[in-house]
A and B are shown apart, each in its own frame.
Chain A
Amino acid sequence: MPHRPSRANVGRRQAANHLFTILAILSTVLVIAPLFAILVYLLFQGVRSLNVAFFTHLPRPVGEPGGGMANSIVGSGIILALASLLGIPVGIGAGIYLHEYGGGKTLANAIRFTADVLNGVPSIVMGIAAYSLIVVPQRHFSAFAAGVALAIMMVPTVTRTTEEMLATVPNAVREAALGLGIPKWRTVMTVSLKTASPGIITGCMLAFARIAGETAPLLFTAFGNQFWPTSLNEPIAALPLQIFVYAVSPYDEWHRLAWAGALVLIVMIMVSVTLVRVVTGRGMLKGGH
């Protein structure tokens, strides 16, 4: 008997096929549309409002035109440097433990799981934790508290990327080093870590890009400041914080500055993310694979 494909329901089935294909394409368009809407509008508003004063002047009081966000840009830089300094070494260390020492042990699995879960904790919780831990005992807001809050957010991301990147280093390379009589710690540092370093740097930059735009934890740690930062132990201005303050204010002049600030912030983030993406050819959200 010759095989003949069933013709039953074929029209209905093909209609369903076309319908869902169209729906899938439509949803893709609907998802990409807001991205363009935001970026184009941001570019339009931001470029119109950007000028040299933005990068060189302190903010002015309400009513006085002009002024800039120079202190916020510097403040953001200080906070981010502090967070990276605290968060990245700890994250890399934890990643090294997970891959080089943890093996398939229960402890390593528990740490990995905890890191993933910690990654999903809202940033505002990090803010109140840093507030309760540092700001309350010291009785004043500080750049240091902000750095700690953001560092905590970097640790799980850096840990998981480091672990994944170390997993791509072939064991033969490690064995060669060990076979030459190099102690294990030096093998890890100079062979495993060095081989995996492009991927680890990618992961660190992605973690950095992620915390660069964080605002919520800064509200009650960095707090904001109208002047140049002079010490890590006092309230400090930050770009995202200043954008928020200006955005919810009723003044047009401040709205203008908020747009300019948002453009600067997003260009910084997009450039680092795109660079990472182009250089490594890896997914932005994934770090590995």
Chain B
Amino acid sequence: MTIQHSEMEGARAASEVRRFLMQRGSGGVADRTFAALMLGCALSIFAIVALILGILILRSRLSLHEFGLSFFLRSDWDPVRGSFGAVPFIWGTLASAFLALLIAVPLALGVAIFINEMCPRALRTPISFLTELLAAIPSVVYGLWAIFVLVPIMRSSVGPFLKKFFGWTGLFHGPNFGIGLLTASMILAIMVLPVISSIARDVMKAVPNTQREGVLALGATRWEMVRIGVLRNARIGIVGAVILGLGRALGETMAVTMVIGNHAAIPKSLFAPAYTLASVIANEFTEATGDLYLSALIEIGLALFLVTIVVNAIARLLVFMVTRGNTARAV
């Protein structure tokens, strides 16, 4: 990134000849065609977003017309009677994403701090590589592992343990099948971890070293240096990283579908099965009979699209504010 920066400096200070050279040769037919083609490719990104938005609105017209805004306020989902409301899915999505962030954020920040500020140099690359490998495992493989390893563990040991010692909180009651909201949140947490920690690392890296040195010079311990010198400066970007993780968690489909239980009711306990916006689409889309049913599912997709666009836009802006654009690409 420093290279790019100095390049820009250089270009700004360019002589007349240099400016002429950089701009010349854009008059010919071949040149104009090439430039137009490249512009076309770039504009296709707008086109993709517009196309997705347009087609989703078009195909969910029936449901939009039938239910209006009440679609997002009704809690009944009964394809047989043709009655559709998204509340159970909104609940499931928000609850699982929130729980996942609750688990993932402290761990992700811990890893980011460890790699950036505490880790011996030799360990830095392998550890960051390992955390990034977590992002390379496909969602369906996480789901497979969760079904056969995590679910039995939750059923036989973690669940009963939580019930025994934290049953008084009222969060852990009802039958414990192993599948359910808590298991889905745990697998979701593992999946959003690398996203949050890698962006948080970028944000922390963007904090100038003088901040660290200044705090250390005042006699701070290493942790105080991190807290006062790094975290305080990077906090907006860290919030951005967390929101980016939230965006990921909201739309994650396969692994969640495989372990959340897929029951269209508002979960009353962390052990209870739930349903998310993404998993109801994955499960019911191909068996949706009737136009209204299909339309309702596409409307859920539309909602998911709009929400993740807004969430990601906010996150990107926050991260950009801290790093001034010197950040990693979207993960």
A contacts, CB < 8 Å to B: 5-6, 13-14, 16-17, 19-21, 23-28, 30-32, 34-35, 37-38, 41-42, 45, 89-94, 96-98, 100-102, 108, 110-111, 113-129, 131-133, 136, 152, 155-157, 159-161, 164, 167-168, 170-171, 174-175, 178-179, 182-185, 187-188, 209-210, 212-216, 219-220, 223, 240, 243-244, 247-248, 255, 258-259, 262, 265-266, 269-270, 273, 277, 283-289
A-facing residues in B124-157 (Cβ within 8 Å)? 127-145, 147-149
Q: Pick 29 A–B contacts, CB within 8 A, sort by A.
A: A21-B223, A28-B111, A28-B114, A28-B115, A31-B108, A32-B130, A94-B44, A96-B38, A101-B39, A115-B45, A119-B329, A120-B309, A122-B252, A122-B305, A129-B301, A132-B59, A161-B329, A171-B10, A212-B138, A213-B138, A215-B254, A216-B282, A219-B286, A240-B140, A240-B254, A258-B144, A270-B136, A283-B328, A287-B329
- Residue from A97, A113, A219 in contact with B39 in the complex, judged by beta carbons closer than 8 Å: A97
Q: Once the chains bind, are B223 and A247 in contact (CB under 8 Å)?
A: no
- Residue from A17, A171, A277 in contact with B129 in the complex, judged by beta carbons closer than 8 Å: A277
- List the A side residues contacting B49 at CB < 8 Å: 114, 117-118
Find the B residue at minimum CB distance from A174: B22
- List the A side residues contacting B248 at CB < 8 Å: 120
Find the A residue at minimum CB distance from B330: A119
- Residue from B110, B139, B226 in contact with A28 in the complex, judged by beta carbons closer than 8 Å: B110
Find the A residue at minimum CB distance from B33: A185
Q: Give 3 closest A-B pairs by Cβ, nearest first.
A: A213-B138, A122-B251, A27-B110
Does B46 belong to the interface (CB within 8 Å)? yes
Q: Once the chains bind, are A247 and B258 in contact (CB under 8 Å)?
A: yes
Complex formed: what's the CA distance from A132 to B129 in Å? 38
- List the A side residues contacting B171 at CB < 8 Å: none
A69 to chain B, nearest CB (A): 13
9 extra interface residue pairs, beta carbon distance < 8 Å, beyond A117-B316, A120-B308:
A34-B134, A121-B251, A121-B309, A178-B21, A184-B35, A213-B139, A240-B138, A266-B138, A284-B133
A-facing residues in B263-299 (Cβ within 8 Å)? 278, 281-282, 285-286, 297-298
Q: Once the chains bind, are B140 and A247 in contact (CB under 8 Å)?
A: yes
Most-contacted residue by chain B among A27, A120, A136 (CB, 10 A): A120
Q: Once the chains bind, are B316 and A116 in contact (CB under 8 Å)?
A: yes
- List the B side residues contacting A121 at CB < 8 Å: 52, 251, 305, 308-309, 312
- List the A side residues contacting B139 at CB < 8 Å: 213-216
Does B208 belong to the interface (CB within 8 Å)? no
B170 to chain A, nearest CB (A): 27
A31 to chain B, nearest CB (A): 5
Does B18 belong to the interface (CB within 8 Å)? yes
Complex formed: what's the CA distance from A266 to B34 in Å? 39
Complex formed: what's the CA distance from A248 to B110 in Å? 35
- List the A side residues contacting B169 at CB < 8 Å: none
Q: Once the chains bind, are A269 and B136 in contact (CB under 8 Å)?
A: yes
- List the B side residues contacting A31 at CB < 8 Å: 107-108, 110-111, 131, 134, 193, 197
Q: Once the chains bind, are B38 and A21 in contact (CB under 8 Å)?
A: no
Find the A residue at minimum CB distance from B143: A247
Complex formed: what's the CA distance from A16 to B25 in Å? 63
- Residue from A96, A244, A284 in contact with B136 in the complex, judged by beta carbons closer than 8 Å: A284
Does B11 belong to the interface (CB within 8 Å)? yes
- List the B side residues contacting A214 at CB < 8 Å: 138-139
Complex formed: what's the CA distance from A36 to B42 in Å? 40
- List the B side residues contacting A248 at CB < 8 Å: 147, 258
A111-B46, A120-B330, A122-B253 known; A41 vs B7 contact (CB < 8 Å): no
Complex formed: what's the CA distance from A46 to B121 in Å? 35
Q: Once the chains bind, are A123 and B46 in contact (CB under 8 Å)?
A: no
Q: Once the chains bind, are B114 and A125 in contact (CB under 8 Å)?
A: no
Find the B residue at minimum CB distance from A151: B48
Q: Once the chains bind, are A129 and B56 in contact (CB under 8 Å)?
A: yes
Complex formed: what's the CA distance from A110 to B133 in Å? 31
Q: Once the chains bind, are A213 and B137 in contact (CB under 8 Å)?
A: yes
- List the B side residues contacting A89 at CB < 8 Å: 41
Find the B residue at minimum CB distance from A187: B25
A216 to chain B, nearest CB (A): 4
